[in-house]
Chain A
């Protein structure tokens, strides 16, 4: 197993990078969904990934925490591989226990919230800290209450997911990811399943999170959010990164005709 420093030297990972992807490939059967993704996300920055559906945005996001296994390329989070270890020129699949340990540092927020349906909001927040990290229950509860307050849902602590609106569920889901003190949070179309009037409350929480210095990778259709909050905008199409750059520059002056065409449809 190589150290972070060795990984950085071997693969040329720049300092200060949280997520580093080079030549990431992924196929489902005969269909190649990712055809070699290169991407670097700086620590404390917000990267927004946009693109038409089927472009591989979500698949790439799921590769970062190894919910999908890569078929090629390298992907390092904070200088470490997630599902593999590099030894003697080979990538060895890691033991489940180690994979879990590394995943615990990567938060994820899903399009369909995926709150644990049999647990209250508060129970959703304390589950992983207690079961995975071994945090004492009292401390976990204290953290959870603080986080619920931070997302403005203190009074919903004892509600079950199905008693909450979509926007409230997604805010609890963000708090649940935060409860593990992750290094980075992956957002997989966090507002796509919400009624239009509920999108705002989730974006406000995400904006506050970005301001607090959290590293975030957001797959989204909210170009407005990307422009206001994003440090980097990535446009993906057909399994490749077509263009990336500073959001304002890219939205005002896209260099690729495909980017221009896509942006003209969503703006």
Chain B
């Protein structure tokens, strides 16, 4: 077939996209399903939405939320510190330090958090009192275990040690992900090993450490609800204490879910910015919002030039 010259303008050439039928059907089905689920939940009076709303800023609930946040932040900070120590021991050339770290991770990751929590809460059964006695000087101090092992303190100890097992593995993997050439180059420039770790290895390891640490923080936030077992008045405990009196179980669980989701949302945003900071040497912004109707578009003008 002969095409006459100069009749097609390449700049205005229209490219027609193949229609994505399966994608369209899947999308429509999902939207329909979502609509029915949403209306079923929103209109079911058993959920008691007005009751839930009235408890949203209840002072007991807010106190519980504060307790949950305090626990999460304290435990996360402690577990990052202990985890970093264990990770460095795990990477040490000393077989003893290495094995100790491996054993720590094996034990604290290998037993349930709830078991560890109840054990620390009951520490006084094993250790009646803590004292420091020096020869010739005598007893410097002695306190009964029950006096300092408050529910809050035993929760912090138990969950920190547990979480540190996970953090140690995350930090170790992050450090190992940095190519050895980086530390060799730094050493060849006369940088001290501690300086190499601080200035060269850690900033690059952070890119691998931050995403799973965000995961762990979110996990931990929810895991702190275990402390209701040892009567720490966290968010879930606060809700329980209310619905035990009023029997408005479902609305109060909705309130608890609302607060957990709110905190998780904030954490996700914070994580996004930390990741952006550590990935700045190769960061390409991820689209948070995208055009939901893009798949229904079948025409697009592409300039051929």
Whether both chains belong to one complex is answered with yes
Does A65 lie at the interface of the complex (its beta carbon under 8 Å from any beta carbon of B)?
A: yes
Does A226 lie at the interface of the complex (its beta carbon under 8 Å from any beta carbon of B)?
A: no
Partner of A160, one of B179, B188, B203, B281: B281
Question: B181 touching A128 by the CB < 8 A rule?
Answer: no
Closest B residue to A129 using CB positions: B189
Name the interface residues of A90-131: CB closer than 8 Å to any CB of B: 96-97, 100-108, 110, 112, 114-119, 127-128, 131
Question: A67 touching B187 by the CB < 8 A rule?
Answer: yes
Closest A residue to B278 using CB positions: A118
Name the interface residues of B89-113: CB closer than 8 Å to any CB of A: none
Question: A107 touching B188 by the CB < 8 A rule?
Answer: yes
B215 to chain A, nearest CB (A): 22
Does A221 lie at the interface of the complex (its beta carbon under 8 Å from any beta carbon of B)?
A: no
Contact with A along B229-249 (1 / 0, CB 8 A): 000000000000000000000
Question: A116 touching B182 by the CB < 8 A rule?
Answer: yes
Question: A103 touching B187 by the CB < 8 A rule?
Answer: yes
Question: A117 touching B182 by the CB < 8 A rule?
Answer: yes
Contact with A along B182-220 (1 / 0, CB 8 A): 101111111111010001100110000000000000000
Contact A97:B204 (CB < 8 A) given known A108-B185, A116-B186, A117-B182: no
Question: A180 touching B181 by the CB < 8 A rule?
Answer: no
How many residues on A have C-beta within 8 angstroms of the other chain's C-beta atoms? 32
Does B147 lie at the interface of the complex (its beta carbon under 8 Å from any beta carbon of A)?
A: no
CA distance A101 to B189 in the complex (A): 9
Name the interface residues of A132-173: CB closer than 8 Å to any CB of B: 132, 160-162, 173
Question: A114 touching B281 by the CB < 8 A rule?
Answer: no
CA distance A140 to B255 in the complex (A): 57
Does B282 lie at the interface of the complex (its beta carbon under 8 Å from any beta carbon of A)?
A: yes
* Chain A residue contacts of B281, Cβ below 8 A: 117-119, 160-162
A180 to chain B, nearest CB (A): 6
Kindly count the residue-residue contacts between A and B in the assembled complex, taking CB atoms under 8 Å apart.
Answer: 71
* Chain B residue contacts of A101, Cβ below 8 A: 190
Does A57 lie at the interface of the complex (its beta carbon under 8 Å from any beta carbon of B)?
A: no
Closest A residue to B181 using CB positions: A114
Name the interface residues of A62-108: CB closer than 8 Å to any CB of B: 65, 67, 96-97, 100-108
A218 to chain B, nearest CB (A): 15
With most chain A CB atoms within 10 A of its CB, the pick from B181, B190, B204, B278 is B190
* Chain A residue contacts of B195, Cβ below 8 A: 131-132
Closest B residue to A133 using CB positions: B190
B20 to chain A, nearest CB (A): 34
Question: A132 touching B191 by the CB < 8 A rule?
Answer: yes
Closest A residue to B192 using CB positions: A100
Contact A104:B204 (CB < 8 A) given known A117-B182, A117-B281: no
With most chain A CB atoms within 10 A of its CB, the pick from B188, B195, B204, B282 is B188
B41 to chain A, nearest CB (A): 46
Closest B residue to A107 using CB positions: B188
B185 to chain A, nearest CB (A): 4
Question: B185 touching A116 by the CB < 8 A rule?
Answer: yes
With most chain B CB atoms within 10 A of its CB, the pick from A110, A112, A117, A176 is A117
B42 to chain A, nearest CB (A): 48
* Chain B residue contacts of A65, Cβ below 8 A: 188
CA distance A100 to B196 in the complex (A): 11
Closest A residue to B188 using CB positions: A108
* Chain B residue contacts of A160, Cβ below 8 A: 281-282
Interface, chain A (partner B; CB < 8 A):
65, 67, 96-97, 100-108, 110, 112, 114-119, 127-128, 131-132, 160-162, 173, 176-177, 180
- Other than the given A67-B184, A128-B186, 19 more pairs (CB < 8 A) read A97-B192, A100-B187, A100-B192, A101-B190, A104-B189, A106-B188, A107-B188, A112-B181, A114-B179, A116-B185, A116-B204, A127-B189, A132-B189, A132-B190, A132-B195, A160-B282, A173-B185, A176-B189, A180-B190
